[in-house]
Amino acid sequence: MSTSFDTDSTPAEDAAVPVKDPLQLNMEVTKPHACLREVVVTIPRGEVDRYMKDAYDELVPEAQVPGFRAGRAPRKLVEKQFKDRIEDRVKGSLLMDSLAKVTEDAEFSAIGEPDFEYESIELPEKGEFKYQFSIEVRPEFDTPDWKKLELKKPVETISEEDVDAALQRVLSRYASLEASDAPAELGDRLLITAKFTDGDKTISEMEEEHVTLASRLSLSDAVCENFGELMKDCKEGDSVTAKVKLGEGHANEEMQGKEVDATFTVVEVMKEQLPELTAEFLDELGEFENESELREFVRSSLERQANFRTEQAMRGSIIEKLLDSADFELPPTLVRRQMKRELDRKVLEFRRSGFDDDMIRRFVNASKQNMQQGTESSLREHFILEQIADEEKVDAEPQEYETEIQLIAEQSDSSPRRVRARLEKTGQMDALRNQIVERKVIEMISEAATVTDEPVEKEAEEKNEEFAIDHEVLPTKDHEAIPAAKYDDNTPKGAEPEDKQEKEKD
């Protein structure tokens, strides 16, 4: 005998059975960790029977059983034929409704999804329906007293010399490169390969990579501190041995902070020839009318970067004071899972603040080398600021999203529509929301504080101090690619980054 039943829907869709009265249940919550709750849910047998009856009441009038017209088969026969599938539907419905009620009634704020195996949960023939799950929650702590703090605000002044140096960095990205037999000097471009070994064991090899010869070379999980000193005066074909030090926060605990051997081989030495600021080049660069307009654009970018550093310094001072009175544990699993998300958020902040690809790569590499400690610190900040935001009813407004997206679009030579689509596709709209809210809370705390301006004595930046590349010296199994800084946020408004294959259009 054949039967007909809709099996295309998922358990969640099947669970959408209309219920007149709220689901009655009991829940027991234990606290194995500050950020984790174990929840046991017990649903009385009467509620299970009610859900079963409602499900059959809905099915019987439409059930198709051979030998009977649709909806005319005896209820007992329908119950027998569809028992397994109706029970699975009811199980899904009870799980969905009970989880919703737990979320609504529980005295905790969930930050993750309930962790349980759907298939391992069984709906009993008799007696109460019982299951359990674990869920990550916000830590519980008393909100620190954030009003009337005493803060010092570092204030940077952008000089003409700063603009000159930044303009040189912009022009160097459009410089022509000519192969040279002359010895390499700091600032030259090198095409190199590398081999990394630990004793007799080769742990990774780097294929041809273009680098700027700088004093220090930063890799995804390590650094070569004396790279410039070693590679200076090298010519095509030369090989140099060096030591690179793995990050203290490397995922492989046995290798944390360890030095391994590296052999760098020069494939080619190239000298830079900067472009002249002709009317044609200025127009191509970003439809600038003259050099003064270009310099003003560069100055504006530097000012945003300076404001970002000021905001970060203020944020650091505020968080340091708040953390003194808000101590709580963070589970290692939460920290590890949040690493990539936190890095996404930081990269987004750098992009909207006008930093270029080189600067972002340096940040990414430095962060990845000490990722766990940095993520833990950022999570603590997030929980404190989010709790203050909740209490003070601070949230991101639609127009604030648009403003942020417009800023990113202006810096990446893209349209706001495409930036929004990219953020939504990569799941970064939530990161953008956190960025907006946390900035507003910091501003609110700053406004309530006693703030003293403190001029920043900037040290002269060493030219060609560091160059960063994306290569893992010791690859990790759990490696997740960090979002590349595809858009050169310090590139003038009409210029197109090297690695951008097509110019985006509306």
Domains and CATH numbers, the chain: 26-136 (3.30.70.1050), 301-455 (1.10.3120)
Which CA distances in Å does 297 have to 35, 292, 488?
46, 9, 14
Per-residue pLDDT at 181: 92
Q: Which residue has the higher pLDDT, 338 or 107?
A: 107
Per-residue pLDDT at 60: 73
What pLDDT, in 10s, does the model give residues 71-84?
666 777 767 777 88
pLDDT of 222 over the 90 cut: yes
Q: Name the β-bridge partners of 196.
A: 204, 262
Q: Which residue has the higher pLDDT, 1 or 141?
A: 141
Q: Which residue has the higher pLDDT, 6 or 110?
A: 110
Per-residue pLDDT at 505: 40
Per-residue pLDDT at 265: 97
> Which of 22-26, 203-207, 225-229, 343-347 shows the lowest mean pLDDT across its residues?
343-347
pLDDT of 401 over the 80 cut: yes
What pLDDT, in 10s, does the model give residues 299-324?
998 998 899 889 889 988 998 888 88
Per-residue pLDDT at 488: 39
Average pLDDT value for the chain: 82
3-state helix, strand, coil in the chain (%, to 5): 40, 20, 40
In this prediction, residue 464 has a pLDDT band, given cuts at 50, 70 and 90, of: low
In contact, 282 and 294? CB cutoff 8 Å: yes
In this prediction, residue 345 has a pLDDT band, given cuts at 50, 70 and 90, of: confident
In contact, 460 and 162? CB cutoff 8 Å: no
H or E element at residue 271: strand 259-273
Range 158-172 average pLDDT: 90
Burial of 130 (0-12, 13-18, 19+ CB in 10 A): middle
Range 395-400 average pLDDT: 94
What pLDDT, in 10s, does the model give residues 413-425?
688 999 899 889 8
In what order do the strands lie in the sheet containing 36-43? 26-33, 36-43, 129-136
What pLDDT, in 10s, does the model give residues 16-32?
444 468 899 999 999 88
What pLDDT, in 10s, does the model give residues 94-118?
999 999 999 888 888 887 788 888 8
pLDDT of 504 over the 80 cut: no
pTM given for the model: 0.57
